[in-house]
Structure 1
Amino acid sequence: MTLNAPERLNALDADMLKAIAAAVTELDADPAVRIIVLAGEGRAFSAGADLSDYEKVGDLDGLLAELGPTVRAIVNAGTPVLSLVPAVAAGAGLSLALAADYTLVADEAKILLAFGGLGLMPDGGATALVVASIGRARALRFALTGERISGSQAAEWGLVSESVAAEDFSTRADALTAQLAALAPEGVARTTAAVTAAIVDVDRALGREETEQHALMRTDDFAEGVAAFREKRPPTFGA
Structure 2
Amino acid sequence: MSAERQGASADSGREPEGSLVAHPFEDVTYTETDHVGVLTINRPEKHNALRFETYDEIDLVVRTTRARALVITGAGRSFCSGDDLQEVMTAKPVDADGNPRRTSFGGLTPLARTLLETDVPTIAAVNGAAVGWGMELAVLCDVRIASVKARFGEIFVKRGLVPDVGGSARLARIIGHQNAMRLLLTGDIVDAAVAWKLGLVLEVVEPEALMDTALGFAGSIAANPPLAVRRTKEGLRKVATGASEEEFGTWFAAAIRDLKETRDHRESVAAFLEKREPRYTGE
TM norm. shorter chain > 0.5: yes
1:39 aligned residue (46, 70, 73): 73
Residues 104-161 of structure 1, C-alpha deviations (whole Å, 9 max, x = no match): 1112311101111110011143211111111111111101111111122212211222
Structure 1 residue identity aligned to 2:48:
N
1:49 paired residue number: 83
For normalisation by structure 2, the TM-score amounts to: 0.63
For 2:123, what is the secondary structure of its paired residue?
Answer: strand
For residues 45 and 82 of structure 2, the distance between their equivalents in structure 1, rounded to whole angstroms, comes to 13
For residues 49 and 193 of structure 2, the distance between their equivalents in structure 1, rounded to whole angstroms, comes to 23
Query: What are the within-5 Å matches in structure 2 for residues 11-50 of structure 1?
Result: 11-27=49-65, 30=66, 33-50=67-84
- By how many angstroms is 1:58 displaced? 7.2
Structure 1 residues 186 and 55 mapped into 2: Cα distance closer, same or farther (>3 Å)? closer
Shift >2 Å, 4+ stretches: 52-59, 61-67, 165-168
Question: 1:89·1:97 contact (CA, 8 Å) conserved in 2?
Answer: yes
Higher helix share: 1
* Larger Rg over CA atoms: 2
Would you say 1:109 and 2:150 are equivalent positions? yes
Question: 2:83·2:133 contact (CA, 8 Å) conserved in 1?
Answer: yes
Identity %: 30
1:173 aligned residue (195, 198, 214): 214
1:75 paired residue number: 116
Structure 2 residue identity aligned to 1:47:
S
Bigger relative contact order, structure 1 or 2 (CA pairs below 8 A, ≥6 apart): 1
Structure 1 residues 57 and 120 mapped into 2: Cα distance closer, same or farther (>3 Å)? farther
Question: 2:154·2:183 contact (CA, 8 Å) conserved in 1?
Answer: yes
Question: 2:151·2:191 contact (CA, 8 Å) conserved in 1?
Answer: yes
Structure 1 residues 183 and 5 mapped into 2: Cα distance closer, same or farther (>3 Å)? same
Question: 1:24·1:77 contact (CA, 8 Å) conserved in 2?
Answer: yes
Structure 1 residues 192 and 53 mapped into 2: Cα distance closer, same or farther (>3 Å)? same
For residues 183 and 122 of structure 1, the distance between their equivalents in structure 2, rounded to whole angstroms, comes to 35
For residues 167 and 119 of structure 2, the distance between their equivalents in structure 1, rounded to whole angstroms, comes to 20
For residues 56 and 130 of structure 1, the distance between their equivalents in structure 2, rounded to whole angstroms, comes to 30
Unaligned runs of 5+ in 2: 1-38, 94-99, 243-283
2:11 paired residue number: none
- By how many angstroms is 1:24 displaced? 1.2
1:195 paired residue number: 236
Cα RMSD after superposing both structures? 2.4
- By how many angstroms is 1:9 displaced? 0.6
Question: 2:71·2:214 contact (CA, 8 Å) conserved in 1?
Answer: no
For residues 53 and 156 of structure 1, the distance between their equivalents in structure 2, rounded to whole angstroms, comes to 35
Structure 1 residues 70 and 53 mapped into 2: Cα distance closer, same or farther (>3 Å)? closer
- Paired residue total: 196
